[in-house]
Amino acid sequence: MSSDDPPERDGPAEDDIEIEGEPTESEESLFLTYVAPFLGVLLIAVGIPLAILGGYVVMQDTLGLCGDPDIEIRALGADERPSSTVGDLEYEELSDAEQRALEEAIDSPLEEATVEGEMANEDVLLEGAVVEVNDDRYYVRIASLNSCLEAEPLLFPIGVIGILLGVAGVLTPPIYRKMAGFEERIQR
């Protein structure tokens, strides 16, 4: 034997040994490397909008983001008419809440106010109407209905769970590689 030849061994080389159930089998590796992260990304993509929508539904009423409609007004000249289809509405026909909102809008520099209470003339004000107050004419219409979003509040926890499961799916390959390497070192 020459000094350049590798030493002979009595048994098979370490590279030739294949252990059954090894953690790096190809089917297992493909699933954990590609499928689990893909499903994780899908869960995150679905979970984010669900969590946002569910959280908004729960908080919208508390934060005052919905409920009472807003009206806006515009002062009209003596002979001015916004459109031929706009009707007239008597001030006395307005509900108390509508009258308060109209007076508040007249005093406001933005010419807007929130109707806090009953809307008796909602259909008419959606299209707009001319209302005379103290010999001044105003074009009054609903600017925003501010209706509350109707959805199941359970969407928030479902969305959060989806996000957490998705993160676990995305983190599966690095965790799998560490665990497989650890198991291979133990088996040697």
Of the two residues 2 and 27, the one the predictor is more confident about is 27
8-state DSSP, 67? S
What percent of the chain has a predicted confidence (pLDDT) above 90?
A: 14
Q: Establish if 27 belongs to a structural domain.
A: no
Whether 168 shows a pLDDT value over 70: the answer reads yes
pLDDT confidence tier of residue 11, bands split at 50, 70 and 90: low
- pLDDT tens, 102-141? 888 888 888 888 888 888 888 888 888 888 888 888 888 8
pLDDT confidence tier of residue 13, bands split at 50, 70 and 90: low
- pLDDT tens, 63-107? 877 778 888 888 888 777 777 777 888 888 888 888 888 888 888
50 with 78, same domain: the answer is: no
Whether 146 shows a pLDDT value over 90: the answer reads no
pTM of the complete model: 0.55
102 with 135, same domain: the answer is: yes
Q: What is the pLDDT at residue 158?
A: 93
Q: Establish if 13 belongs to a structural domain.
A: no
120 with 160, same domain: the answer is: no
Q: What is the pLDDT at residue 61?
A: 76
- Please compute the mean of the pLDDT values over residues 146-165 and round it to a whole number: 88
Q: What is the pLDDT at residue 157?
A: 92
Q: How far is CA 151 from CA 49, 50, 147, in A?
A: 13, 10, 13
Whether 16 shows a pLDDT value over 80: the answer reads no
74 with 48, same domain: the answer is: no
Long-range contacts of 126-130 (CB under 8 A, 24+ apart): 127/85, 127/86, 127/87, 128/82, 128/83, 128/86, 129/86, 129/87, 129/88, 129/89, 130/76, 130/81, 130/82, 130/86, 130/87, 130/88, 130/89
83 with 116, same domain: the answer is: yes
Whether 164 shows a pLDDT value over 90: the answer reads yes
Of the two residues 162 and 87, the one the predictor is more confident about is 162
Q: Establish if 89 belongs to a structural domain.
A: yes
Domain region containing 168: 36-61+151-187
41 with 87, same domain: the answer is: no
Q: What is the pLDDT at residue 129?
A: 84
Q: What is the pLDDT at residue 48?
A: 95
134 with 158, same domain: the answer is: no
Domain count, the chain: 2
100 with 47, same domain: the answer is: no
